[in-house]
Amino acid sequence: MPDDAVAVGRVIRPHGTDGTLRVQPLSDNPSRFQVGSDLTVDGTSRAITEFRPLPGGHALIRLDGLEGATAVRSLAGQWLIAPADPAPDLPPGEYYHYQLVGLAVATDQGEHLGTVQEVLVTGSNDVYVVKSQAGEEILLPAVSQVIKQVDLSAGRMLVHLIDGLR
């Protein structure tokens, strides 16, 4: 991904037969999904023609030029990429989802757990999906008892595994 772009969502699967996509938005910036804005998916820039948020953090989106289920079937798992606009600074300890995806995760005991693959938005707090090179997955709640340090410049996250996380 170019330095001047950010992942703002991920295609989950087609929705229906008209070319609509079910996506997991990764951006807290609602202007990223305004009708008329451009997103790049699978290397092609397309204008958003429709966007509808759904309960549970997912959304339905239609992109210009993608008509019918066959046109979108191969897009499952693809990232939605947007230009990296200067995002407003967040308070200390808060991060944009795109900043967290890809961070290396280690415990305060020195164990490397893997990298953050995605951020799940839940009712109470976000959950970081961490996957190891061996394919093992661990879900880490984004709470201060677990997430001890996020160092964006070093590309890493330090965590404390409380009972029940494995």
Report if residue 73 sits inside a domain: yes
Same domain, 128 and 77: no
Confidence of residue 98 (pLDDT cuts 50, 70, 90): confident
Confidence of residue 90 (pLDDT cuts 50, 70, 90): confident
Nearest to 57 by CA among 122, 107, 4: 122
pTM: predicted TM-score of the whole model, two decimal places:
0.58
Per residue in 67-87, pLDDT tens?
888 888 889 989 999 887 666
CB proximity list for 24: less than 8 A, separation 6 or greater? 9, 10, 12, 57, 58, 59, 118
Same domain, 77 and 112: no
Range of the domain at 116: 97-159
Reported residue count of the chain is: 166
Q: Decide which of 55, 83, 111 is a domain's last residue.
A: 83
Report if residue 18 sits inside a domain: yes
What secondary structure letter does DSSP report for 87? P
Residue 127 sits at φ, ψ, to 5 deg, of -130, 130
Helix %, strand %, coil % for the chain, to 5? 10, 45, 45
Same domain, 21 and 53: yes
| pLDDT for position 3 | 60
Tell me, what CATH number does 40's domain have?
2.40.30.60
Same domain, 75 and 110: no
Same domain, 78 and 125: no
Higher pLDDT, 83 or 15: 15
Same domain, 147 and 112: yes
